[in-house]
Amino acid sequence: MVGYTSWALLTKMDIPLIGVNGLRGEYHLELPQLRIGSLKLRYPIVQGGMAVRASTASLAGAVAKAGGVGLIGATAMALEELKQEIEQARSLAAGGIIGINIMYTATQFAEMVDVAIRAGIDVIFTGAGFSRDIFRWGKESGVPIVSIVASAKAARLAEKFGAAAVVAEGAEAGGHLGTDRSVKEIVPEIKATVKIPIIAAGGIVSGQDIADVIKLGASGVQMATRFVLSEECSVADQFKQMYLQAKAEDVVIIRSPVGLPGRGIRNDFVKSIEQNKVPKPSECAGCLKKCSKEYCIVKALINARDGLVNEGIVFAGQNVFKIKDILPVQEIFDRLLAEYAVAE
């Protein structure tokens, strides 16, 4: 079938016939072939970029090796650190696709993009605002740019500027949010508006979830929360344990000084934000173009990432409570593909 990978072939190559996780049955669904510019993905699965230092080389490299796109969360990294992370991810990726995720609000946005392009990055995902410049830099260097959007209007703008694809991120997502609407509402609207490929994001944790958004018009998915619960993700074990213990009602909207709401797990730190009791930062590195300085979001994310979970913010997607195990990235892929193949 033109434009589609043969599922029969994938089954033989990559998935045990008696399925992963006890799944059995006839493999019948085919995955779409996702292209981002000239990049051809083996599987249309992107591991969402996660700042600060939640998605680093070890995770991005493993995802790329497994056949998806591995993204390093670049926001708030030092320039030299970013360069080293890209080199390390490349060495782990076995020829797979490595990208960065960078928020437009980062003060060093232009410098970071420059470092990534010089380091030979394959693709750049960018969100939290638009920069026309990045599309020009992408064109000049041949690096495809993917815009993270939450509405048909923003998707149309991204396509006009030259985006190779858009991530349609719904309110189920972890991290900062651009909408309070479900990914299942925004994907069909964006599909009706743009011709470039749509990568759906927010709350996708299983093969059935992937099938659901593909039916709505997506050509691929971006997943982050599922990949936090991988062996290769470099967040502290305490961070992963918060994920494993979270119940549905623990996942809440958090006020962030960036000016966008964020989704994460309610803990002592979040309670003090709700009660306006977080002390203002005593120092500021000026890492974001726009910040209310109500508290330091970068410090809060680093604290949590390093294991001080109650002194920081544990961003997580709405469906975190559905994930019950920490697995190697390759097993996450095997399971997603097996679940997808028998999805309704």
Residue with smaller CB distance to ligand FMN, 7 or 320: 320
Q: Which stretch binds ligand FMN (CB under 6 A): 47-55, 129-137, 210-218, 270-278?
A: 47-55
**What would the x/- binding string for ligand FMN be over residues 147 to 176, using CB under 6 A?**
-x--------------------x--xxxx-
The yes or no reply on residue 312 touching ligand FMN (CB under 6 A) is no
Binding test (CB under 6 A) with ligand FMN, winner from 10, 20, 45, 50:
50
The yes or no reply on residue 203 touching ligand FMN (CB under 6 A) is yes
Smallest gap from residue 8 Cβ to ligand FMN (A): 29
Smallest gap from residue 125 Cβ to ligand FMN (A): 7
Binding test (CB under 6 A) with ligand FMN, winner from 29, 100, 143, 223:
223
Q: How far is CA 10 from CA 4, 5, 150, 197, 230, in A?
A: 11, 8, 32, 22, 23
Token representation of residue 27: 């493999």
The radius of gyration of the chain from alpha carbons, rounded to an integer in Å, stands at 19
Residue with smaller CB distance to ligand FMN, 37 or 127: 127
Q: Which stretch binds ligand FMN (CB under 6 A): 113-121, 199-207, 265-273, 286-294?
A: 199-207
The yes or no reply on residue 224 touching ligand FMN (CB under 6 A) is yes
Q: Which stretch binds ligand FMN (CB under 6 A): 25-33, 58-66, 220-228, 241-249?
A: 220-228
Smallest gap from residue 89 Cβ to ligand FMN (A): 16
The yes or no reply on residue 48 touching ligand FMN (CB under 6 A) is yes
DSSP β-ladder status, 198-201 and 220-223: parallel
Residue with smaller CB distance to ligand FMN, 76 or 341: 76
SS3 readout for the chain = CCCECCHHHHHHHHCCCCCHHHCCCCCCCCCECCEECCEECCCCEEECCCCCCCCCHHHHHHHHHHCCEEEEECCCCCHHHHHHHHHHHHHHCCCCEEEEEEECCECCHHHHHHHHHHCCCCEEEEECCCCHHHHHHHHHHCCCEEEEECCHHHHHHHHHHCCCEEEEECCCCCEECCCCCCHHHHHHHHHCCCCCCEEEECCCCCHHHHHHHHHCCCCEEEECHHHHCECCCCCCHHHHHHHHHCCHHHEEEEECCCCCEEEEECCHHHHHHHCCCCCCCCCCCCCECCCCCCCCHHHHHHHHHCCCHHHCCCECCCCHHHCCCCECHHHHHHHHHHHHHCCC
Residue with smaller CB distance to ligand FMN, 201 or 214: 201
The yes or no reply on residue 225 touching ligand FMN (CB under 6 A) is yes
Interaction with ligand FMN in 253-272: which residues (CB under 6 A)? none
Residue with smaller CB distance to ligand FMN, 135 or 239: 239
Closest residue to bound ligand FMN by CB: 317
Residue with smaller CB distance to ligand FMN, 27 or 246: 246
**Residue ranges that bind ligand FMN, judged by CB under 6 A:** 48-51, 54, 73, 75, 101, 103, 127, 148, 169, 172-175, 201-204, 222-225, 315-317, 319
